[in-house]
């Protein structure tokens, strides 16, 4: 699998943006990929003409510095562009125009849900790298891939390709979702409440909580744990076919919280996840695991888009 052929770098003046620049230049050099740089003047933040003009000048100077850095590494930047407008849409348009297959941007510390990186996680059609780690050598030494769905094959294959390219240690992680499996009550839904007058049906009121038996809880937990082992075995085969050894870990808890904690304790420098599409209702009720991880992880996060 090709990691990237055309890389779109998005920059501003933040610390993580500088790290993203270093990472993008070194990855482009390592992968022999084309590199494009983009500075967007956010008109949601800067509204007066004088300020916007000053930010445009700042952006041009910043892009010149990046080009000089790339030139020193004998790397050519195809285009350096300053755009004025709403960042998310302009970034996506420029990325599509350049036919980039990897978008790199600095991640804010605990980026808010409405931030540009957060919106890009939801909207980007190509792979997305949110950079927090400081690429001292440009390498990734420890890569963690979340594999909670056996149908998600792109993230494991991408992570294995990264691990092989950078000679990195690869770990696959499956999280048994205790929020879903170990919950001790369930809500009686409308259909069940409407059937309460049927013979032999226990009376249930809408919204009533009904305890789940310990036996059923144990079975649900066991079934999901066994599914986890099946998934990580599948990932291990994918990695082996790519010529990479992989460590495996089963965790229990809320997936986003557990993988963030595990990555930090294990000193991983990259988390690889696959973007999963959810309905608006599902996102409202459950949230998006990739979004939560991207916002709160202490290391860089790669979102592999299945549409890429």
pLDDT tens digit sequence for 199-231: 555 555 555 566 667 787 788 888 889 989 999
Predicted TM-score of the model (pTM): 0.84
CA separation for the pair 101, 54 (Å, rounded): 31
* Residues 6+ away with beta carbon under 8 Å from 83: 38, 39, 40, 41, 90, 94
Least confident of 27-36, 120-129, 194-203, 298-307: 194-203
Percent of the chain scoring above 90 in pLDDT: 44
Domains and CATH numbers, the chain: 1-135 (3.40.50.620), 183-211 (no CATH)
What is the tens place of the pLDDT at every residue in 112-169? 455 788 889 888 999 999 998 765 555 789 999 998 765 667 899 999 999 999 999 9
Mean pLDDT of 265-290: 70
Instruction: Compute the residue count for the chain.
Output: 308
């Amino acid at each position: 699998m090709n990691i990237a052929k055309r890389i779109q770098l998005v920059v501003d003046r933040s610390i993580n943006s500088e790290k993203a620049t270093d990472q993008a230049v070194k990855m482009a050099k390592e992968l022999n990929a084309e590199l494009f740089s983009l500075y967007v003047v956010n008109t949601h933040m800067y509204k007066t003409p004088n300020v916007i003009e000053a930010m445009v000048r700042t952006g041009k100077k910043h892009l010149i510095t990046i080009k000089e850095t790339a030139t020193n590494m004998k790397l050519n930047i195809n285009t350096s562009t300053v755009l004025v407008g709403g960042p998310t849409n302009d970034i996506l348009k420029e990325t599509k125009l350049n036919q980039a297959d990897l978008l790199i941007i600095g991640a804010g510390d605990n980026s808010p849900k409405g931030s540009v990186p957060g919106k890009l996680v939801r909207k980007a059609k190509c792979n997305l790298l949110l950079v927090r780690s400081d690429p001292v050598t440009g390498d990734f030494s420890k890569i963690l891939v979340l594999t909670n769905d056996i149908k998600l094959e792109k993230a494991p294959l991408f992570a294995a390709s990264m691990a092989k390219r950078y000679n990195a240690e690869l770990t696959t992680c499956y999280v048994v979702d205790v929020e879903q499996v170990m919950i001790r009550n369930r809500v009686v839904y409308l259909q069940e409440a409407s059937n309460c007058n049927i013979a032999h049906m226990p009376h249930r009121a809408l919204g009533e909580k009904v305890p789940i038996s310990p036996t059923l809880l144990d079975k649900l937990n066991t079934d999901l744990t066994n599914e986890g082992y099946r998934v990580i075995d599948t990932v291990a085969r994918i990695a082996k076919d790519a010529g990479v050894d992989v460590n495996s870990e089963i965790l229990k808890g809320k997936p986003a919280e557990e993988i963030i904690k595990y990555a930090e304790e294990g000193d991983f420098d990259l988390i690889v996840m696959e973007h999963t599409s959810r309905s608006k209702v599902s996102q409202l009720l459950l949230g998006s695991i990739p979004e939560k991880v991207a916002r709160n992880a202490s290391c860089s996060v790669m979102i592999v888009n299945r549409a890429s």
